[in-house]
Amino acid sequence: MFVEIGHFALALALGVAVVQTIVPLWGVARNDPALASVGPAAAIACFLLVAISFGCLMMSYVTSDFSVENVVANSHSTQPLIYKLTAVWGNHEGSMLLWVLILVLFGALVALSRRSLPPKLRAGTLAAQGSVSVAFLAFTLLTSNPFRRLVPAPGEGQDLNPILQDLGLAIHPPLLYVGYVGFSITYAFAVAALIEGKIDAVWARAVRPWTLLAWTFLTLGIAMGSYWAYYELGWGGWWFWDPVENASLMPWLAGTALIHSTVVMEKRDALKVWTILLAILTFSLSLLGTFIVRSGVLTSVHSFASDPQRGLFILGILIAFIGGSLALFAWRAPLLKQGGLFAPISRESALVVNNLFLATACATVFIGTLYPLVLEMITGDKISVGPPFFNATFVPLLVPLLLLLPIGQTLAWKRGDLLGAAQRAQVAFGAGVVTMLAIFAVVRGGPVLAPLGIGLGVFLVIGALWEIGERVVTRASGASAIWSRAKGLPRSAWGSALGHAGVGISVIGIAAAAWGTESIGMLKVGESLTSGRYTVTLEAITPRTGPNYREDAARFRIVANGRLLEPVEAMKRIYTARAMPTTEAGIRTVGLGQAYISLGEPDASGAIAVKLHDKPLILLIWIGALVMAAGGALSLTDRRFRLAAPRRTPAPAALPQAAE
Amino acid sequence: MRALPLFFVALLVLSAPAIAVQPDEILKNPALEQRARALSSGLRCLVCQNQSIDDSDAPLAKDLRILVRERLTAGDSDGAVIDFVVARYGDFVLLRPPMNARTIALWAAPFLIMLSGAAFLWRRRNRSAAPAGVTLTAEEQRRLDDLLRDERG
């Protein structure tokens, strides 16, 4: 019963999305406010219908309804409840439904937003958003229906892939999708602006919170995915330059450029055409990521060709939305009036340079990811583009950007003073250099890049804090004056300082990874292995039974620099339903570093292969990302986003928007 | 199976995650072993997705790791080992694509994009630095001079 309701609600949502796409635009064209105001109601209805559909799929997982093909393939009656719930999006069909749910959620949020938008812009935005919903609802219904029944129904399910039976699956995909899909709103705003042929600071101010929101979640989603891969896969690596990871990195880079260019547009009415293009490209990259991940094109061009239905459908969506919006851009962008001139040395120029570097870095990831596919398609030659390529191209592009960051952020708008900005950054620069030299002096003979990278990170962190400090602390002012100044600074100033400091923190963590060490050994009970600061001793191997797996848990005594820590366990598991083995790494956090133990195969004598990593300061990588996201969230609460936008909207902001 | 971030396609080629390099493979000579590890991390596991043989538990990756170590023990230089492997498996095995006619576009792209972007901005800068039609007439210039003189006076 639930299954049919869910399926029906999804089909109905498609119909409503069609209305949301067509009627508001028609209303605007015919100057009929009643028709134009259908958009918000349709967007909300569409969200409610997809939410019902999603809830129904969740119900069939909770009740282990094995008459549903999707549940059979990804669940098991003994699976813990939390994994029954997360299994809903631990597969292609269900995750597509989550994708669509978040898409229509954003549509509903725009519809409910109390910020006053010019009615034409609102209608155009909801229509554009609606068209994306139509495409993906149709894709889900026609090629990836999660509600398909199975006759006869089997008595038991096949279990969720064991690697996904982890809290990471509960957190990572929803965060990532809110980020990915959130950029659909900026895309919709850009398309609406192009249709209207008008774009100004009001537009920028309306778009900025959505961009910040999507960017914040994408940052969290990528960081969470990275940490999940780190602790679950047992390699101890945190970024692999895998195409699937690159698929999420590209929209992040473009989105980072976008949150900087919208600042210029909002404050100085400049960079309009570029910002519109960037808004389109960012969501296009999200769509491309969806295509890369779901079409099968990654495994090989040939596997894509052998089962082309889904891949071709998404490719069609890709061509329609990217091609369509770029064509619209080429047609309408020349009509947009350019504003705000600025000198070559100015905050605007600094942000243009930021965008140049980020766009190039994004293009590099794009080409590196797609080049092997295209080459194979054209010539049949197979090449690999792996981490060494990205390390050799991406990193040299980012380092100058990071070096310029603390200087650029202190430049004045319109016409800046480069010497003054450099002087303001000199304390931070000095702190970075001193840190670097101190490390060189203390740590002899280690990798050279680690102190250099940490120096850069310190430069970024101190630079970000110094910029805020200069605005808050002035000569001859007491503590209370400083406090009131600090409170008086806009939250967005604190947000950007925090965001930039977060980048520095991550850079420190990444650089310190060069000091990591690892050892491998065959251990019997009572034997030890040392790596870096840590020595572990295998104490016992105990067989245990979990709800849907059996495991051998290896308990280790762990000593760090002569200090005994809490013992740590690493596990080898067999998930019974799929007879699939997994390993669970044993991790002990000491300060900001970690000891990381993973298990290999036992040999005939009863010894087991153990790999021990010493990972100094590794947590800073993700802490930095959290700080970046906190900066984004703080900017989001800035006063000017909570108030009605000025100019162009004389109508009172307090009118309930749904009744417009 | 490399990254969890979006896992669907990756599930096709799945080996249990574990520690890859087995203790019995490790060479006695630490300098040679370090070179072996460095070489392995640049060689692709041919049956995996974008995974180096240093990270993979696939049997083929193990064979290749042992092969690399055999060549090193036999006294081959790093370059000779790579040539040996490429001769058998082709360029596909290299995670760092070699620079040649087929990959020159790949390697040049980041720099070309950066340069053309910078060149575009430079041209625009010159254009906006001297926007047409803002030169002052003689009358305006005189009034401006007057005003400035008053200001200073």
The reply to whether B89 and B60 lie within a common domain is yes
Q: Which of A230, A292, A403, A628 is nearest to A395 (CA)?
A: A403
pLDDT tens string A174-198? 999 999 999 999 999 999 999 888 8
Domain count, chain B: 2
Mean per-residue pLDDT of chain A: 89
In a domain, B3, yes or no: no
| pLDDT above 70: residue A612 | yes
Region A307-332: mean pLDDT is 90
| pLDDT above 70: residue A52 | yes
pLDDT tens string A589-600? 999 999 999 998
pLDDT of residue B12: 32
Which domain range does residue B81 map to?
9-93
pLDDT band at A467 (very low <50, low <70, confident <90, very high): confident
Q: Which of A134, A163, A154, A119 is nearest to A43 (CA)?
A: A134
In a domain, B86, yes or no: yes
User: What is the CATH number for B66?
Assistant: 1.10.8.640
In a domain, B128, yes or no: yes
The reply to whether B117 and B83 lie within a common domain is no
pLDDT band at B10 (very low <50, low <70, confident <90, very high): very low
CB contact under 8 A, A234 and B9: no
pLDDT of residue B67: 93
pLDDT tens string A5-31? 999 999 999 999 999 999 998 988 888
Reported pTM: 0.90
pLDDT of residue A642: 63
The reply to whether B17 and B86 lie within a common domain is yes
The reply to whether B74 and B14 lie within a common domain is yes
Residue A77: exposure state from Cβ atoms within 10 A (0-12, 13-18, ≥19) = middle
Continuous segment of H or E residues that includes residue A601: strand A593-602
B66: distance to nearest CA of chain A, Å?
16
pLDDT band at B152 (very low <50, low <70, confident <90, very high): low
If you measure CA to CA, which chain B residue comes closest to A161?
Answer: B11
Pick A484 or A554 by higher pLDDT.
Answer: A554
CB contact under 8 A, A356 and B118: yes
Region B54-81: mean pLDDT is 90
Region B9-33: mean pLDDT is 64
The reply to whether B87 and B14 lie within a common domain is yes
CB B72 within 8 A of CB B35: yes
The reply to whether B127 and B68 lie within a common domain is no
pLDDT tens string A532-544? 999 999 999 999 9
From chain B, the residues in CB contact with A611 under 8 A are: 19, 21
pLDDT tens string A84-110? 999 999 998 999 999 999 999 999 999
Q: Distance between CA A19 and CA B51 in Å, rounded? A: 46
| pLDDT above 60: residue A442 | yes
pLDDT above 70 as % of chain A: 95
| pLDDT above 70: residue A64 | yes
In a domain, B1, yes or no: no
Which of B7, B50, B114 comes nearest A386 by C-beta? B50
| pLDDT above 60: residue B42 | yes
CB A86 within 8 A of CB A162: no
A73: distance to nearest CA of chain B, Å?
13
In a domain, B60, yes or no: yes
Region B43-55: mean pLDDT is 84
In a domain, B135, yes or no: yes
pLDDT band at B130 (very low <50, low <70, confident <90, very high): very low
pLDDT tens string A68-78? 999 999 999 99
Structure tokens at A216: 């914040």
pLDDT band at A641 (very low <50, low <70, confident <90, very high): confident
pLDDT of residue A304: 60
From chain B, the residues in CB contact with A294 under 8 A are: 8-9
Region A314-340: mean pLDDT is 88
A-contacting residues in B 94-153 (Cβ below 8 Å): 94-97, 102-103, 105-107, 109-110, 113-114, 117-118, 121, 125, 128-129, 131
pLDDT of residue A477: 66
The reply to whether B74 and B20 lie within a common domain is yes
pLDDT tens string A110-153? 999 877 788 888 899 999 999 999 999 999 999 999 999 998 99
The reply to whether B35 and B70 lie within a common domain is yes
In a domain, B4, yes or no: no
pLDDT band at B11 (very low <50, low <70, confident <90, very high): very low
Residue A181: exposure state from Cβ atoms within 10 A (0-12, 13-18, ≥19) = buried
The reply to whether B66 and B25 lie within a common domain is yes
CB contact under 8 A, B95 and A91: no
Q: Which of B93, B113, B140 is the last residue before a domain boundary?
A: B93
pLDDT band at A497 (very low <50, low <70, confident <90, very high): very high
Q: Which of B70, B93, B116 is the last residue before a domain boundary?
A: B93
Task: Give B6-47 as a 3 state SS string.
Answer: CCCHHHHCCCCCCCCCCHHHCCCCHHHHHHHHHHHCCEECCC
The reply to whether B25 and B83 lie within a common domain is yes
| pLDDT above 80: residue B127 | no
pLDDT of residue A17: 97
Q: Distance between CA A71 and CA A1 in Å, rounded? A: 15
**Cα–Cα distance list, A554 to A542, A573, A583, A590, B20 (Å):** 6, 11, 11, 20, 18
The reply to whether B81 and B27 lie within a common domain is yes
In a domain, B16, yes or no: yes
Least confident among A442-446, A517-521, A567-571, A591-595:
A442-446
The reply to whether B122 and B52 lie within a common domain is no
